[in-house]
Amino acid sequence: MANVTFKNNPVTLLGKEVAVGDTAPDFTVLANDLSPVTLADSKGKIRLISVVPSVDTGVCAVQTRKFNEEAASLGDNVEILTISVDLPFAQARWCAAEGIENVKTLSDHRDLSFGEAYGVVIQELRLLSRSIFVVDQNDKVTYVEYVSENTNHPNYEQAIEAVKQLLN
């Protein structure tokens, strides 16, 4: 399992760590309107899954805004999903206030289906650990980053480059 800290304190991640080459595990999360969303809902597209502890915090907000900006240039065959345990209502309010329109925010608050499937549930906090996953059109994981310190930014450039490699 990935070694991760939160504010420099070690935390325990629950679930199974995902690696490049794995078949992406399925999950069920909630859209802002409370409808269920699964990985299969975006089958045939390249998915960049941006995982944040809470969209309403500094680094998470920057991460979500950054991928929202990048989404427009990546085309219709790419779907960017931001997943946190924030309530769907809070995600919708935050996105409206921030002008987030190119990223789908999804909530794993109900049963941590995504978090457990991807090994990112922080046991001590019941939050998701900051991470990035790129999944190709055939549900293969092609890029993984478990950010070692949750208050740090992910490597945006490498994640976007991993998506662009799949577009070529």
88-98 and 58-74 helices, crossing angle to 10° = 70
Q: Let me know: does 83 contact 128? Beta carbons within 8 Å.
A: yes
> C-alpha angle 80/86/87, rounded to 5°?
105
Q: Annotated catalytic residue: which of 49, 55, 60, 71? A: 60
Strand-pair partners of 6: 9
Helix (H) or strand (E) holding 134: strand 131-135
Strand-pair partners of 5: 10, 149
Kindly state the tokens that stand for 167: 């577009």
Residue 121 has, within 13 A of its CA and on its CB side, a CA count of: 15
Q: Please identify which residue in the block is written with the tokens 């998915």.
A: 47
Q: Let me know: does 52 contact 152? Beta carbons within 8 Å.
A: no
Task: Give yes or no: 60 in active site.
Answer: yes
Active site residues: 60
